[in-house]
DNA sequence: TTAATAATAGTAACTATTATTAATAGTAAA
DNA sequence: TTTACTATTAATAATAGTTACTATTATTAA
C-alpha cells in the first residue's frame, strides 16, 4: 500500500484542482471530472483526494464548514472567504509576511504549524453592499475584532 | 422565535461550557450535563448550543475536524491544538497582539474577521517527545512553514 | 383561564465521508 | 508468456455528526 499508480481518474482530479482557483468541495471536483470521465464514482474521488493529500500534491483546507475543500496548491498559503457568497480566494503573500515574523515565540506549546483564515466581502459583494449603502445613512464603525457573533453570514455554508 | 427562555437545560449547558477550558464537542457537553440532568437528549444539547451561539453567549470553534467544538468564551481569542493528543488550549493574548496590527491592509476584499489556529505539541506531548529524543540522534531542522503535508498527526481527529 | 409560543425527549431523516465488495487492470517475477 | 500480486475501480453499504420532526409539557401573555 505505498506504490501508487497514476490512473486517468487520479490524473484528471489533480489536473482539475490545479486548473481552478475556486478551492472546490469533493462533489464539485466530482462534477468537474465527470465531464471527461462520466462514470467516475464519488468513492473514487474521495479516495484519490485522500491519496493526493498523502502524497503532498494537494491540500485540504480548513474553511469552517462541514464540507471539506481541496486546493491544488500544496504549499503553505492562506485563504479568505466571502461571508456573503461563500467564495474563497488565496490571500496575497505580502499580507501574511509580517504576521509570520511574529508567531515564533516560545511558550508552553511547541508550535509546528498554523491555519490562518480570513472572512470578509469579496470585491463583488463589497461593491454590491456599497451600492445599497448610498441610499441609506452612512455608518462609521467597523465590526472588526469584536464579538465573534455572526461571523459567518449567509455565504453558502 | 425570538423570545428565549432560560431553561435548566440551557443554563446547565452554558455553565458547563463556562467552567471548562477544554473546548468540548457536542457529545462531550452532553456527557457533562447528563451528570445533572440524566435524561437530557442530544437534540436538546445541539438546539441549545445553536441558540446560545445566536445569542452571542458562546462560540463554535473552527478546529479542522468534523466534530465541532464549543467555547464558553464568546470573545475573540485564538487557539492551539496538540497534533499528538488533540488537546486544545487558548493562545496567550500577547502572542497575538502584533499579528493583529498587521492584517488591516486594504486589498480587493474587505476583511471583517479571521480565524487563527495553531498546531503543535502540548507541554505533556512535548516532554514525552523530548524524552524519546534523548535516546536517538539529535535532529536540527524544524518543520515550520513548509509543505502542509501531515499537518495533523495522530491527535484524535 | 385561555390562547399562544417555547422548549423538551425521543426519534427519524439528512449529509458528508469512509468502508466494503467483487471485478478489472497494471506490475513483477518465474 | 503465464503466474501471482497488488492497486484501483464503480457500486453500494455503513458510519458519524448534525438537523428536523413530533407529540407532549411548561412558560408567558392576553
Ligand atoms: Mn489556495
Ligand atoms: Mn477558547
Ligand atoms: Zn462574495
Ligand atoms: Zn498533547
Say which of B108, B110, B147 has its CB closest to residue A75. B147
- Given this model, what pLDDT does residue B147 score? 45
Record the cell numbers describing residue B67, joined without a space: 466534530
Which ranges in chain A are annotated with CATH 3.30.1490.190? 76-157
- Collect all residues of chain A within an 8 Å Cβ-Cβ radius of residue B122: 108-109
Q: Which ligand is nearest to the CA of A91?
A: 1
| Tens-place pLDDT, residues B15-38 | 999 999 999 999 999 999 999 999
Measured distance CA(A119)–CA(A89) in Å, rounded: 10
**B76-157 belongs to which homologous superfamily?**
Ferric-uptake regulator, C-terminal dimerisarion domain (3.30.1490.190)
| Tens-place pLDDT, residues B118-153 | 788 888 888 888 887 777 655 544 433 444 444 556
Q: Is A119 exposed, middle or buried (0-12, 13-18, 19+ CB in 10 A)?
A: buried
- Given this model, what pLDDT does residue A143 score? 39
More confident site: A104 or A80 = A80
Q: What angle do CA B6, B27, A26 make, to 5 degrees?
A: 115
- Collect all residues of chain A within an 8 Å Cβ-Cβ radius of residue B143: 112-113
Mean pLDDT for A137-148 is 45
Alpha helix (H) residue ranges in chain A: 8-19, 26-34, 42-54, 93-101, 123-134
| Tens-place pLDDT, residues B42-86 | 999 999 999 999 999 999 998 889 999 999 999 988 888 988 888
Measured distance CA(A122)–CA(A125) in Å, rounded: 5
Q: Which ligand is nearest to the CA of B78?
A: 2
CA distance A51 to chain B (A): 11
Record: fold of B1-72: Arc Repressor Mutant, subunit A (1.10.10)
Measured distance CA(B47)–CA(B45) in Å, rounded: 6
Tell me, rounded to whole angstroms, the distance of Cα A156 from its chain centroid. Answer: 13
Amino acid at each position: 500500500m505505498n506504490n501508487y499508480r497514476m490512473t486517468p481518474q487520479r490524473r484528471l482530479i489533480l489536473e482539475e484542482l490545479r486548473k481552478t482557483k475556486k478551492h472546490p468541495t469533493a462533489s464539485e471536483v466530482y462534477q468537474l471530472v465527470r465531464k471527461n470521465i462520466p462514470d467516475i464514482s464519488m468513492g473514487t474521488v474521495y479516495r484519490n483526494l485522500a491519496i493526493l493529500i498523502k502524497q503532498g500534491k494537494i491540500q485540504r483546507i480548513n474553511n469552517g464548514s462541514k464540507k471539506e475543500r481541496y486546493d491544488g496548491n500544496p504549499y503553505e498559503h492562506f485563504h479568505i472567504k466571502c461571508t456573503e457568497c461563500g467564495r474563497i480566494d488565496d490571500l496575497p503573500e505580502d499580507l501574511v509576511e509580517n504576521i509570520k515574523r511574529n508567531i515564533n515565540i516560545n511558550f508552553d506549546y511547541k508550535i509546528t504549524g498554523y491555519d490562518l483564515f480570513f472572512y470578509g466581502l469579496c470585491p463583488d459583494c463589497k461593491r454590491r453592499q456599497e451600492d445599497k449603502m448610498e441610499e441609506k445613512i452612512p455608518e462609521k464603525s467597523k465590526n472588526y475584532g469584536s464579538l465573534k457573533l455572526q461571523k459567518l453570514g449567509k455565504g453558502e455554508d
